[in-house]
Amino acid sequence: MSKVISIEKAINTIKSGDTIGVNSFFSFGNPVNLMQKLYERVIKKNDLENLSMYLSSPCGYFDEDYPSEKIFSTDAVKKLVCGHFTSMPLAARRIAENKMEGYNLPMGILSHLLRAGARGEKILLSKMGLNLFSDPDVGRHGLNDISNEKLVEKVDIHGEEFLSYKVPKLDVAFLRGTYSDVNGNISFEKEYSVIDALAMAQATKLNGGKVIVQVEKMAPGHRSPWNIVVPGMLVDMVVLCPDQYEKAGIYDYDKRMSGEEKPTAEELINYVIDNSKTFKEKRGVAAEVICKRAAQCLKPADNVNIGVGVGEGVAFQAVQSGMLDKITLLVESGGVGGVPVGGKFFGATIGADSCISMASMFDFYHGGGIDKTFVGCMEVDKYGNVNAHGLAGKIVGIGGFADITQNAKNIYFCTTFTSGGLEVELDDFGNLKIINEGKFCKFVDKVHEVSFSSKNSYATNQAVYVVTERALFKLESDGWHLVEIMRGVDLQKDVLDKIPFEIVVEKDLKFMEK
Catalytic residue among 101, 191, 312, 332: 332
Name the nearest CA neighbour of 293 among 10, 489, 67.
489
CA torsion through residues 31, 36, 37, 42, sign: positive
Stated as kind and residue range, the H or E segment containing 412 is strand 410-414
DSSP-derived 3-state class of residue 330: strand
Count other Cβ atoms within 10 Å, centred on residue 63. Answer: 14
In residues, how long is the chain? 514
285-290-294 Cα angle (round to 5): 150
The answer to whether the CB of 212 falls within 8 A of the CB of 10 is yes
Name the nearest CA neighbour of 172 among 6, 13, 342.
13
Known catalytic residue: 332? yes
Count other Cβ atoms within 10 Å, centred on residue 513. Answer: 11
First vs last C-alpha separation in the chain: 64
Spell out the alpha helix ranges (H) of 309-467: 312-320, 358-366, 401-405, 454-460
Name the nearest CA neighbour of 316 among 304, 300, 332.
304
**Residues 6+ positions from 229 with CB-CB distance below 8 Å:** 177, 186, 187, 188, 194, 197, 198
The residues with which 102 forms a beta bridge, in sequence order, are 80
Put residue 451 in one of left, alpha, beta given phi > 0 → left and psi -120 to 50 → alpha. alpha
**120 vs 212: CA distance, rounded Å:** 20
Strands (E), 116-235: 123-126, 152-157, 160-166, 172-176, 179-180, 186-187, 210-215, 217-218, 228-230
Pairing of strands 210-215, 172-176: parallel
DSSP-derived 3-state class of residue 381: strand
CA torsion through residues 226, 232, 233, 235, sign: positive
**Residues 6+ positions from 272 with CB-CB distance below 8 Å:** 315, 316, 319, 320, 339
Residue 84: CA atoms inside 13 Å, Cβ hemisphere, count?
A: 26
**Residues 6+ positions from 254 with CB-CB distance below 8 Å:** 348, 350
DSSP-derived 3-state class of residue 459: helix
Q: At what angle do helices 265-283 and 285-295 cross, to 10 degrees?
A: 130
Active site residues: 332
